[in-house]
């Protein structure tokens, strides 16, 4: 188990993530008080880590925190597959009007046309 301060976490997050992967647990402190825990998903002993990553990606997309493309990358899925999943869950895909979302929708349409 390791401890890192918020300052250390801001200046070098990769060190804290590496420690979480290697040491199972990293405690993040704020002014010497524990504030958070970093735990590598693989260390939790979950039966299906990929399903957890997909669920996190869906939740973050639904809340507007990430784009569909970022959700697909997080879930380790191709964009068209992620868009199909989001749609099947009743999550609107066209709510955002960002350039990235428009590009993602164009890519998905092109992919679907090639599959026909």
In this predicted model, what pLDDT tens digit does every residue of 6-61 receive, in sequence order? 999 999 999 888 888 888 789 999 999 999 999 988 888 888 999 999 999 999 99
In this predicted model, what pLDDT tens digit does every residue of 74-83 receive, in sequence order? 999 999 999 9
CATH numeric code, 2-44: 3.40.1620.10
- The reported pTM is 0.67
Domain with CATH 3.40.1620.10 in the chain: 2-44
pLDDT at 101 over 90: no
Query: Which residues lie closer than 8 Å to 104 by C-beta, 6 or more apart?
Result: 67, 68, 69, 79, 83
Residue-level pLDDT at 43: 84
């Amino acid at each position: 188990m390791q401890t890192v301060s918020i300052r250390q976490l801001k200046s070098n997050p990769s060190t804290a993530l590496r420690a979480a992967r290697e040491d199972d647990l990293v405690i993040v402190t704020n002014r010497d008080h524990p504030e958070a825990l970093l735990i590598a998903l693989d260390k939790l002993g979950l039966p299906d880590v990929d399903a957890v990553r997909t669920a996190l990606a869906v939740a973050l997309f639904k809340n507007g925190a990430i784009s569909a493309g970022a959700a697909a990358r997080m879930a380790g899925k191709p964009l068209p597959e992620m868009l199909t999943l989001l749609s099947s869950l009743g999550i609107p895909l066209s709510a955002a009007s960002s350039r990235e979302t428009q590009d993602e929708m164009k890519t998905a349409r092109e992919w679907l046309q090639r599959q026909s």
